[in-house]
Amino acid sequence: MLFKDQIGFIRQHMKRNRLRTAMTVLAATMGCAFLIVLASVGFGLHKTLMDELLSNQTVTEIQIHGKEDSGEPITAEEQELIRQLPGVDAVVARSYLESPSRVLLDDRLNRAQIILTDAEQEAKAELDLSAGALPSSRNEVIVGYHFAENLLTEQELIASEKGESPAGYRGDLIGETIRLEVMSSESEEPGPETWEFTIAGIAEEPAKDWRVDNLVLVDESFREEFPVFTAPEGEEVAPYFEINAYAEDLAAVEAVTESLKTEGYYVYSVTEEMTTMNLFFNVLKAGLIFVGTIAVLIASIGIFNTMTMAVTERTREIGVMKAIGAQPKLIQRLFLMESAWIGIVGTMLAVVISFAVSALVNQLIPNIVLNILAEDGAGAEGMNIIVSDIPWQLVVIASFISIGVAMVSGWRPARKATEIDVIQALRQEL
């Protein structure tokens, strides 16, 4: 029997029992759709949290917190060795000036945090700016995103102390000259030492809404000009308070992190959280797929019953086929093809329905959640919630399970069809 004749044979018998076949396909569709939609929730939550994690920090940043074998600060020589590691693009060392200081612009004052840093390394680390450019000379600085909001007049300062929220500086800061006053520690009644800087750029807005960026990044060459950094009495002043290495790309972060650990450094990078998160969600997704598979198995009962009834109804036809020389393998193949057809059609419909349900869920539920959070004052502005995500891998897995279960369900009835006795089959009345 030719393949097209086999297809015609299957189609002819399905037309005889359209309602029963349609209900069986519907059951297979519902089982497969349930599997895809249920598992898509795990994929959606994973994607949401990963996107949130990656948006809240520089993904190529590796924080270095010192060495395991000593509490000594990392020296300039050690920084240079770190820069030479494969995959490292830059090493940024920042020193926080803890001496009392203030920044002045005309009649406005800001008690900003002064940080000494290397502009060249900041440029290699691709410091993000919302306006302006990176410093091109040692007298140019970068200010934080909220620097203007905290640049207040005397009246606004008094108002802020009373709990009010003054507007701060409203003009364009780029190109403005600010005066930095740092208290001297060389006398009992120290007076301020003053430096003038030009604002070259403004840092990008922090990803986290609660974070206030009120920093002023000053060139490292001013270290010897500023008063000494304050430190607990009797202790040496650490030359650097924050050191971050930046990998060439996200793929290199894990390798650089492991290299630094091997060198004896305490480090932290985004891969630390990603590894734990991926493990958790892989287990969760596997569990959801397992639960969804149970629904497919329940639907397979309908396929088994349908195929069993088909064999019973076609006993005489099977006998005739055997009498004219049809091999048992051909008969078995015909019934397996029929059960596979039910699985394939059900899977195709399930994929279409799943994508429709996923789109609807992603449209409705995030809006409801965000509205609830907004009413509670949780500050969820800009948060992107993905409830359901259907990657192609999930479609492949669900299709394999659904079609595979359908064929397994039809295997036993197909075997039963090959075992029918020809004489007994021909004796049956039409």
CA atoms within 13 A on the CB side of 421: 4
Q: What is the pLDDT of residue 336?
A: 85
Cα gap 212→149, rounded to integer Å:
10
DSSP 197-247: EEEEEEEPPPSSTT----EEEEEGGGTTTSPPPP--TTSPPPS-SEEEEEE
CB 340 within 8 A of CB 26: no
pTM of the prediction? Answer: 0.66
283 Cβ contact partners less than 8 Å away, ≥ 6 residues apart? none
Q: What is the pLDDT of residue 426?
A: 66
CB 153 within 8 A of CB 170: no
Cα gap 178→109, rounded to integer Å:
10
Cα gap 198→214, rounded to integer Å:
16
**Nearest of 284, 294, 352, 399 to residue 39 by alpha carbon:** 284
Q: What is the pLDDT of residue 220?
A: 86
Q: What is the pLDDT of residue 330?
A: 79
pLDDT per position in the chain (430 positions), as tens? 566 766 776 676 777 778 888 888 898 999 999 999 999 999 998 888 887 776 655 678 888 888 876 666 787 888 888 888 898 888 988 888 777 788 999 889 998 888 999 888 888 887 888 999 989 888 999 999 999 999 998 888 888 888 788 888 988 999 999 999 877 655 444 557 788 999 999 998 887 677 788 999 999 888 777 755 444 444 445 556 788 898 888 778 888 888 888 888 888 887 777 888 888 999 999 999 999 999 899 888 888 888 888 777 777 776 777 777 777 787 787 878 888 888 899 999 999 999 999 999 988 888 887 777 666 555 455 567 888 899 999 999 999 999 999 888 888 887 877 777 676 666 665 4
Q: What is the pLDDT of residue 230?
A: 42
Element spanning 278, H or E = helix 270-313
Cα gap 122→124, rounded to integer Å:
5
Cα gap 401→32, rounded to integer Å:
8
CA atoms within 13 A on the CB side of 153: 7
Q: What is the pLDDT of residue 70?
A: 64
DSSP 112: P
Q: What is the pLDDT of residue 238?
A: 53
Cα gap 77→309, rounded to integer Å:
81
CB 165 within 8 A of CB 212: no
Give Cα separations from 111 to 68, 75, 94, 131, 373 (angstroms).
35, 29, 18, 22, 33
Rg (CA), the chain: 35
